[in-house]
Every structure is written in C-alpha cells, then in structure tokens.
Structure 1
Amino acid sequence: MNDSFNRVWLTNKFEEIRKRMMKVIDQLDDDQLNWQPDPSSHSISMLINHIDGNIEERIVKGILHVDNKRSRDNEFKAEYVKKAALQMIIQDRLQLVIDTIQTISDEALEQTQTVRNRERTNLDMLHQCAAHYSEHMGQLFYIAKLCLKEEYTSTSVFRPKTN
C-alpha cells in the first residue's frame, strides 16, 4: 500500500498542532502554565505531560517497539514545570511523531497494536493521536484565554488587537 496522502495529512496535522501549542505556551509564564482553573481541572503543564505520555505509549512503544514504563496517573499530578521544559516536550516529542510518520514503512503502518483490548493499525493510531492531541490543544487554548483574557492572541488567524 502507498500511503502518501495519509503521510502528508498526518505530517501537516502534527506540525500544526506543534506550532499552535508553541504559540500558546509562548504567551504564558511559568505560573500560568501550571495554573489549574479549579482543583478538579488540569493545568497546561499536566496536559502536555499527558500528551508526552501518550506519545511514549502509542508511538514509542506501540509503533517503534521500544519498551517503556508509562505512568498515566503521574501525568495528572500537579507538578510545577517550567516553560522551557514544556516547550522542549512539545518541540521534541511532536518532531518524533513527525519523523516516525515520514520514515515508517507502508507495511509498518498496517501493523497493529492493542489499545484497550482492541487491535488497531498503526495508521489508525496515528489518526487517533492527531484527534486526541487536537482535543487537548483546545483545552490549552481555553486555559490560556482564562489566564490572559483580552491579551490572548489567537493561534490560528492573526487578528490585530483593537483598542
């Protein structure tokens, strides 16, 4: 199978996710990145750590077959993480996803991994990851808007601020 359409689509999607997440992170300081709207909500740093854990589970372990020990519960523990560390996670880990998409063989895209007791192809898993990270990206935008209010700058379309 030749999956050039999926490769291009997925590469563009993960590049967009990375770019827009970086634009949000750039607008915030360390305290805002670690702020939780309420005790039952997640901070941006928690969400980024969760995305990192998901990449570790679905891409590194599931597609690249590198064994690891993911602790999903630890991803949602309140831990103060500096902006530079979060930027590095987004930059490096999404680049890993992009590199994987660009170098994986067509045959490997059709291989399966078990996710919640269900066999899924690696291609399906990559599309699921794109959807999952997009959902969390929306949460990042919302938290950033709560922190920045009128000072928030959209990550999708440049809109000059009006006075």
Structure 2
Amino acid sequence: MKSYLTSITKQFKYYKGLGDKTFVQLSFEELQNEIALDSNSISIIVKHMVGNMLSRWTNFLSEDGEKEWRKRDLEFEDSYTCKAELLDAWEKGWQCLFDAITPLTAGDLERIIYIRNQGHTITEAINRQLAHYSYHVGQIVFLGKVLKGKDWKSLSIPKGGSAKYNEEKFNKSKERKHFTEEL
C-alpha cells in the first residue's frame, strides 16, 4: 500500500504536468475558445476541475467532499480574466489535492470518507478523482492539439516515433521504476 500512495502521487503529478505542458503552448484566447456551440473551453474545464479539487480535498477526512459552498453550475461559466488567473487557480486546486494526499499512510486507505453522503474508502475516493481528472486533462490536451493544429508539440511519443522510442527503451537494462520518472 505504500507503493500505491507513491504511485498515485506520481500519477496525479503526471496528469497535472500534461495540463501544464498544454497551457504553455496556448494563448489566453485559445484557452477560452469553445470550438462548438455549448462545448466547454479549456478555461471552463480548468474552472470545473479546480472547483472539484477544492471541494473534494479540503478537509476531506472530516467533511463531505461535496461542500455546501461549492457552486458547481457556475464552474461552467468562464470568468477568468487572464491566463495568469487561470494558472493560479489551476495551481491552487492541485496544491489542495497534494496537501491532502501527501500525509496519508497505508493505514488510512481503508478509512471511509463521504462524497454526497456516499461512503468511499480513501482508496476508492482517490481512484475516483484520478479517473475524473485524467478524463478532463485528456480533454484539455485534445482541445490544445485541435487548436494548435500543425504547430502542436507532442506531449508523448510523436507520430512515427514509436520505433525509435522503443529502441531506446529496449537498449536499457530492465529495472523497476515508475513510467513518469523519465518525463
């Protein structure tokens, strides 16, 4: 279970990093671009993720994960006035998450916490949020790629680069390590 906590922290950092690398490539106007009627811009997705993170991870061991102060419907209205404001909110949400999970021990993982009065073990709650955030980060990356088109800089193995990547990996000795350690 100790390896689970280490791994999950690395996974969350990985997905945060994908978002970070996407934001670097985009202007504020691109972050606000709703590519279709009634779709969510990257800015709106970020606002929703931040709202969710602050609600789920603030006092998550002692309070329900859906806070009374959260106004979820307002998360889908873009109110950021500049890229710096969006990035500050993004960092605040992730910091709340990392502050909550960093002190956890293996003995905590079977404790029950609540989200909308539904009991979850801490492991289940973490897995739920990892799936939720990776889903939205995938949307952010996809939208970034669509918006940048040919100017997009790949965040993983670029098209046509698999053989070279695999050759580099298989020329190394086998070792146990998390895939994010080389990124």
TM surpasses 0.5: yes
Work out the CA distance in 2 between the residues paired with 1:88 and 1:144.
Answer: 19
Work out the CA distance in 2 between the residues paired with 1:10 and 1:111.
Answer: 17
Larger deviation, residues 107-116 vs 61-70: 61-70
2:31–2:41 CA contact under 8 A, matched in 1: yes
TM-score, scaled to structure 1? 0.84
In structure 2, which of residues 38, 48, 51 is the aligned counterpart of residue 50 of structure 1? 48
- Of structures 1 and 2, the larger Rg is shown by 2
Work out the CA distance in 2 between the residues paired with 1:117 and 1:31.
Answer: 39
2:170 paired residue number: none
Q: Partner of 2:36: helix, strand, or coil?
A: coil
2:61 paired residue number: 63
Work out the CA distance in 1 between the residues paired with 2:125 and 2:145.
Answer: 30
For residues 103-114 of structure 1, the aligned pairs below 5 Å read 103-114=103-114
Percent identity, aligned pairs only? 26
Larger deviation, residues 87-96 vs 29-38: 87-96
CA deviation profile, 1:5-47 (whole Å, cap 9, x unmatched): 1111111001101111000011001111011012211011111
1:114–1:120 CA contact under 8 A, matched in 2: yes
Say if 1:5 and 1:16 are closer, same or farther in 2 by CA, change over 3 A: same
Q: Partner of 1:103: helix, strand, or coil?
A: coil
Q: CA deviation at 1:123?
A: 1.9
Work out the CA distance in 2 between the residues paired with 1:105 and 1:41.
Answer: 40
1:11 paired residue number: 9
Work out the CA distance in 1 between the residues paired with 2:98 and 2:156.
Answer: 20
Q: Partner of 2:102: helix, strand, or coil?
A: helix
Say if 1:156 and 1:124 are closer, same or farther in 2 by CA, change over 3 A: same
Q: CA deviation at 1:91?
A: 2.6
TM-score, scaled to structure 2? 0.76
Work out the CA distance in 2 between the residues paired with 1:139 and 1:131.
Answer: 13
Work out the CA distance in 2 between the residues paired with 1:85 and 1:64.
Answer: 30
Root-mean-square deviation (CA), in Å? 2.3
Q: Partner of 1:114: helix, strand, or coil?
A: strand
2:51–2:93 CA contact under 8 A, matched in 1: no
1:112 counterpart letter in structure 2 = I
Q: CA deviation at 1:142?
A: 1.6
**Does 2:94 match 1:99?**
no
